[in-house]
Amino acid sequence: MTDLIFAATCDLAGKVRGKAFPSVQLDKRLARGVGWTPTNVQINCFDGIADSPFGALGDLLLIPDQTTSVSANFGTRTERFMLGDIVDLDGATWDFCTRSLLKSALARLEKVGGVQLLAAFEHEFQLKGKIRYSGDSYGRAGFEAQRGLCEMLMAQITAAGLSPDSIMKEYGPNQYEVVIDPEKGVRAADAAVIVRELTRSTARHLGEAVTYTPILDPASVGNGVHIHISFLNPDGAPATYDAKGPCGMSALTASFAAGVLKYLDSILALTAPSVVSYLRLTPHRWSAAYNSLGLRDREASLRVCPVTAKDPASIARQFNIEYRASDAAACPHLALAAILHAGIQGIEEGLSAPTPAEEDLSLLSPEDLAARGFIRLPETLEASLERFSENATVRGWFPNAFADVYLAHKASEIAHVAEMDVPAQCAAYAETY
């Protein structure tokens, strides 16, 4: 039997695609990659192909990065894969490589803010099939029913070189949450992809099936991806916290947060990019419906998280802000790049710290919201895409052709589910994610 390694990219649809090669070729593939096709970027999450500017023309290379190497041993089978970067035949970065787009945002963060990123993705997923337990939100029985999956998943996460934090039975039916420790730079998004893939692999090995769909049942809860963000100075010292700053945020963090909230309605199409994402982004779902900052408020789009430390140095290390308007239909690299660019824009513009919301914003009129500096976020993917398309500043963060390609990509996805009712749409997304 030939041992194979899967070289992969996480694409605009948040899907992990690529090619496998014999492991004996690893050194060659690390240098020369595997062949890739430009129009692959327009494969949507349902495997339709959107209108492509590339047609049948062009060739690319997908170069695996050995630092992302995963070898998941399930006893009877070992799954090996690596994430990588897409380049042209001369080795130049390709404009639609999501991993490279994040690297560009990280470089801008260092240039403008003088800091490095430390981030972690917090994932919710659901087991598919019959609901095993009711009345067991956060319960031990629901956890014990899947202890084997939970323990095997945490072991695989550790074997992949990541640090697991916790796993639990979540509030929703058959819903679980897995959390890992933060990672620096692009590794944070790589880790998010790895966790999702290992969850699916572990479930398959145990005869289960999981979904990371944004929402399985519109009458129930959704599955969010909460992105925790903090900053490090070049010497590794924390740069996110200032005891005298607003809500404990340093001046840099406060401007970053203000930028994220200012441009949130225009980046939502990149962080919550499915048709059904907007069934979840509604008031009273503990998700995100307004461009609000919250101090330990789970209804806020951007939350200042609590810390358990008491001494100033430990508080500074723990302190972080949490972006809550995201789900697993989004490519982690692209979502994080959009958030970073929005925050960096806030730093460049010298924006002041936003005022935290302390009431139920759904009770306010549009006029009252505007007077407070809040808006209701787009309520459909089409509306989000329109905001993204019309915002020249946001489009300018990405390569020239990126916005048009992304809009065409999403238009094909919308068309695929346009004639379905809401339950059928939810079922379609549950199957693909």
| pLDDT at position 211 | 98
Greater pLDDT, 389 or 131: 389
Strand segments, DSSP code E, in 24-143 are 34-36, 60-64, 70-73, 78-88, 116-127
Helical H segments across 290-365, by residue range: 312-318, 332-348
The token duo for 111 is 């240039």
Q: What percent of the chain has pLDDT over 70?
A: 100
Q: Give per-residue pLDDT as tens, 39-53.
A: 999 999 999 999 999
Q: What is the mean pLDDT of residues 66-91?
A: 96
| pLDDT at position 187 | 98
**54 pLDDT higher than 80:** yes
- Report the chain's mean pLDDT, rounded to a whole number: 96
**371 pLDDT higher than 90:** no
Separation CA 340–CA 108 (nearest Å): 9
**364 pLDDT higher than 90:** no
Burial code (b: 16+ CB inside 10 Å, e: under 16) for 27-53 equals eebeeebbebebbbbbbbbbeeebebe
**Of 179, 345, 368, nearest in space to 260 by CA:** 345
**133 pLDDT higher than 80:** no
The token duo for 120 is 């972690």
Describe the chain by its helix, strand, coil percentages, rounded to 5.
40, 20, 40
| pLDDT at position 299 | 87
CB 279 within 8 A of CB 422: yes
What does DSSP assign to residue 222? B
Q: Give the confidence band of 373 by pLDDT, cuts at 50, 70, 90.
A: confident
Q: Give per-residue pLDDT as tens, 144-182.
A: 999 999 999 999 999 999 999 999 999 999 999 999 999
Q: How many CB atoms lie within 10 A of CB 217?
A: 17
Task: Report phi then psi at 167, rounded to 5.
Answer: -150, 145
Non-local (6+) Cβ contacts of 299 within 8 A are 283, 284, 286, 287, 288, 289, 292, 357, 360, 361
Q: Give the confidence band of 129 by pLDDT, cuts at 50, 70, 90.
A: confident
**366 pLDDT higher than 90:** no
Q: What is the mean pLDDT of residues 127-150?
A: 89
| pLDDT at position 280 | 96
Q: What percent of the chain has pLDDT over 90?
A: 89
| pLDDT at position 134 | 75
Least confident of 9-13, 311-315, 393-397: 311-315
Q: Give per-residue pLDDT as tens, 303-329.
A: 999 999 889 999 999 999 999 999 999
Separation CA 351–CA 376 (nearest Å): 21
Q: Give the confidence band of 253 by pLDDT, cuts at 50, 70, 90.
A: very high
CB 424 within 8 A of CB 46: no
Q: What is the mean pLDDT of residues 337-342?
A: 98
Greater pLDDT, 292 or 297: 292
Separation CA 100–CA 93 (nearest Å): 7
| pLDDT at position 40 | 97
Q: Give the confidence band of 14 by pLDDT, cuts at 50, 70, 90.
A: very high
Could you tell me the pTM of the whole model? 0.96
**296 pLDDT higher than 80:** no
| pLDDT at position 192 | 98
Q: Give the confidence band of 68 by pLDDT, cuts at 50, 70, 90.
A: very high
**26 pLDDT higher than 90:** yes
CB 149 within 8 A of CB 203: yes
| pLDDT at position 333 | 98
